[in-house]
């Protein structure tokens, strides 16, 4: 199995109970999360050696999040602790025709107040095969944009493979008028594996994709991405059709520089428990399949199955093993396992 390093902000999620509005009653459920950490936890449960690189505040909230990562098998040796505040986000889960809503409270967190100089990538990448990054960290502020770029450049210089999840967050970029296209373009250029669809490619490379079908738009975007980014070998994305808050259809595509085009049949998910972290579970499933040497069709089916399982589990993390995901990719059985 591979050693994977994940870099990004760790967050506390505060959720209204059940389907209540935020603070409708004065109770909140608490979960640890963060885009890159979600991928790391999934990969740890799938058998990989995962190390998290981040910064937490020296207070009970930071200690809780660090403990949660260790509980799921993630190495937190390189998670720094310093004075500051914990990044938070608040989730109101939707119902019927009311959409879910997220409110962020992460400005000036201990992580976001740091800089590129805080991280010694010579030491942090020692023995690593992969570095996982996402578009959330560089969107926080100029210092974290530079810190993410330095991490990606260090991985490229050392021959460490980079996986990058576009995770375009326009509201975060808008807070400091960040040049998302320029910064994301360099990050995309460092990636061997890119989790993005035609909208992300449009943001980074400009233009729009007006093809008739969704699959055709993704195909065209992938062709443009492979032409623009010589290191890029694979691009993967999901296709989500929400029928209601609790009923979504989810499909997936995996496209290769060599012309490989693998599709996972769409799955209907009725009675969704929690969709937060579904994209991160998909990314982890795709990476696991690649690390294990699966065929492209098996990789994308595994990634989609991992994402679907996450929709059945409360919280940001997807603590399922390979056997659980494999069970869903084969003959589906929903009776009690004994």
Q: pTM for the whole thing? A: 0.95
Reference 76, options 44, 102, 100; nearest CA is 44
Segment 20-49 mean pLDDT = 96
- C-alpha angle 252-100-140 in degrees, rounded to nearest 5: 80
Which tens digits make up the pLDDT trace of 175-190?
999 999 999 999 999 9
Q: With 80 as the cut, is the pLDDT of residue 337 above it?
A: no
Which tens digits make up the pLDDT trace of 39-97?
999 999 999 999 999 999 999 999 999 999 999 999 999 999 999 999 999 999 998 88
Residue 97 confidence (pLDDT): 85
Residues in the chain: 338
Residue 273 confidence (pLDDT): 94
Helix, strand, or coil here: 230? coil
Q: State the Cα torsion 65-69-71-77 to the nearest 10°.
A: -110
Residues in CB range of 28: below 8 A, 6 or more apart? 14, 15, 16, 17, 90
What domains can you pick out in the chain, each with its CATH number? 3-232 (3.40.1190.20)
Q: With 80 as the cut, is the pLDDT of residue 332 above it?
A: no
Quote the percentage of the chain above a pLDDT of 90.
93
């Amino acid at each position: 199995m591979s050693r994977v390093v994940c870099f990004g902000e760790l967050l506390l999620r505060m959720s209204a109970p059940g389907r209540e509005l935020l603070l409708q009653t004065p109770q909140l459920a608490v979960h640890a999360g963060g885009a890159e950490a979600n991928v790391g936890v999934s990969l740890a449960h799938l058998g990989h050696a995962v190390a998290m690189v981040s910064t937490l505040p020296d207070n009970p909230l930071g200690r809780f999040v660090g403990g949660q990562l260790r509980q799921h098998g993630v190495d937190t040796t390189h998670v720094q602790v310093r004075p500051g505040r914990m990044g938070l986000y608040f989730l109101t889960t939707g119902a019927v025709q009311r959409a879910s809503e997220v409110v962020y409270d992460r400005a000036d967190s201990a992580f976001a107040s740091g800089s590129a100089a805080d991280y010694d990538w010579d030491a942090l990448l020692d023995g690593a095969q992969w570095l996982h990054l996402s578009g959330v960290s560089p969107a926080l502020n100029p210092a974290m944009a530079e810190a993410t770029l330095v991490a990606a450049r260090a991985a490229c210089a050392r021959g460490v493979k980079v996986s990058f999840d576009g995770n375009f967050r326009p509201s975060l970029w808008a807070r400091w008028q960040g040049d998302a296209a320029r910064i994301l373009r360099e990050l995309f250029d460092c990636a061997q594996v890119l989790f993005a669809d035609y909208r992300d490619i449009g943001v980074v490379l400009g233009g729009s994709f007006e093809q008739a079908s969704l699959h055709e738009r993704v195909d065209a975007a992938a062709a443009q991405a492979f032409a623009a980014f010589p290191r890029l070998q694979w691009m993967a994305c999901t296709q989500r059709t929400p029928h209601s808050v609790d009923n979504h259809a989810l499909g997936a595509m995996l496209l290769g520089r060599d012309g490989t085009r693998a599709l996972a049949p769409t799955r209907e998910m009725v009675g969704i428990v929690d969709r937060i972290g579904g994209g991160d579970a998909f990314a982890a499933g795709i990476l696991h399949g690649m690390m294990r040497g699966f065929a492209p069709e098996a990789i994308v089916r595994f990634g989609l199955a991992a994402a679907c399982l996450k929709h059945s589990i409360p919280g940001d993390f997807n603590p399922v093993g390979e056997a659980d995901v494999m069970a869903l990719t084969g003959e589906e059985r929903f009776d009690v396992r004994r």
